[in-house]
Amino acid sequence: MTITQIFLLLVCAFVLALVLSTLFKRYHRIIMWSAAIVFFIGTLLLIGLGIIDPVKDNRPDPVVITGIFTALVLSGLFAYGAEKLRIKLREKNQQTVQPIDNHSECPDSPKGVVLSGRLDTSLARTIFAKAIEAGYIEEVGSHYSWKGTKALLAYMCGRIYCGDYPEYSKYEQKTFWEFGNGLFPDVELNALFEQTGIGQSRQNRRDMPVPNNAGEIDKFFQK
């Protein structure tokens, strides 16, 4: 097999992985990481099993060595691309959240409800105040009463405390609920809203379409 043939085979595999990643954008990170692992481990296995041998007649085989090097480089590119795209999506989602955090004139939560510990953040006070104004939250003594579904409450709190974000899939023509990396304060939120299972409701909707009226919640995170 010539260098050109090896190069074309690797390029075809590379393009195929990119096409699949584009068509199934929701699973782009899984597809690209899978391709990176297949290229890397597959190359090492072929070498280890003797199916490909970089040494021929006691001399380095430039064709095989070029193919091995190219495969390992492509593996690294897949891994880099998977993480780079994920970071880019997260930064894009947080662009609308950061101005809210730095806005000194945003209204605080009502005096009757005091946020404490992990719940007390500038973003939380801002979003809760907007939810009260929109009629989703009502202050009852030292607690909040939620007027929507539990899934919608979990969605809002996930966006506040965990960096969750909505991601629209052109292929499936739906908006999906993507999780962030923050730790969800389940116990504290259950106590604040006098409910149970808010965190479980969030887990049940992982990588599923956003709940009804999620667009109204998303507006709270805009300027």
In the chain, where are the structural domains located?
3-93, 98-220
Q: What is the mean pLDDT of residues 27-43?
A: 80
Lowest mean pLDDT among 19-33, 86-100, 158-172, 192-206: 86-100
What pLDDT band is residue 41 in, cutting at 50, 70 and 90? confident
Give the global pTM: 0.54
Contact 208, 176 (CB under 8 A): yes
For residue 49, pLDDT over 70 is answered with yes
3-state helix/strand/coil string of the chain: CCHHHHHHHHHHHHHHHHHHHHHCHHHHHHHHHHHHHHHHHHHHHHHHCCCCCCEECCEECHHHHHHHHHHHHHHHHHHHHHHHHHHHHHHHHHCCCHHHHCCCCCCCCCCCCCCCHHHCCHHHHHHHHHHHHHCCEEEECCEEEECCCHHHHHHHHHHHHCCCEEEEECCCCEEEEECCCCCCCHHHHHHHHCCCCHHHHHHHCCCCECCCCHHHHHHHCCC
Contact 102, 87 (CB under 8 A): no
